[in-house]
Amino acid sequence: EHNSGVFSVAFNSDSSRAVTVSRDGFWRVFDTDIRYQAGQEAQVLKRGEWTVLKGASADRVRLAMSPSGGSFAVACGSALKVFSSEDANRDFPELPNVHGDQPIQVIRYSPCGRLIATCGDRYVRVFRNVPEYHSQVIRLGK
């Protein structure tokens, strides 16, 4: 249900959550833990915006979701932004020029979801996944 072309989709480890990012600058997190045979459809759980994506070219956008589905990371060119899947209103800082002027080519989560790695130049950069911790706190409060 985006208003423009979808750049990418990613799933968590058990496929119960999915995230999409679109050329219109918006992202959506879906509950995909459904029974298609019973006529259920995926439901949008959260939605938000990262204006950097507006008008971007698909070859410069990367997307990954944490194994738990508590966070997801989006790269557009050399910028990286990590979001909490549980809190669309919490704005974690954008990380510009992660690999200098080189675009981010790959985003990967560690199996535990605590770390995010990117590569784009001759180096791998590793980041602590703060939005994942934020999502865990929200889930514990429910």
Class of the CATH-defined domain 6-141:
mainly beta
How far is Cα 69 from Cα 132, in angstroms, rounded to an integer? Answer: 9
What does the domain layout of the chain look like in residue ranges? Answer: 6-141
Band the pLDDT of 83: cuts 50, 70, 90.
Answer: very high
- 């130049």: which residue's tokens? 121
3-state DSSP call for residue 137?
Answer: helix
pLDDT in tens, 12-30: 999 999 999 999 999 999 9
- Is residue 141 scored above 90 in pLDDT? no
pLDDT in tens, 59-77: 999 999 999 999 999 999 9
Predicted TM-score (pTM) of this structure: 0.92
Give the residue from 140, 135, 30 showing the smallest Cα distance to 92: 135
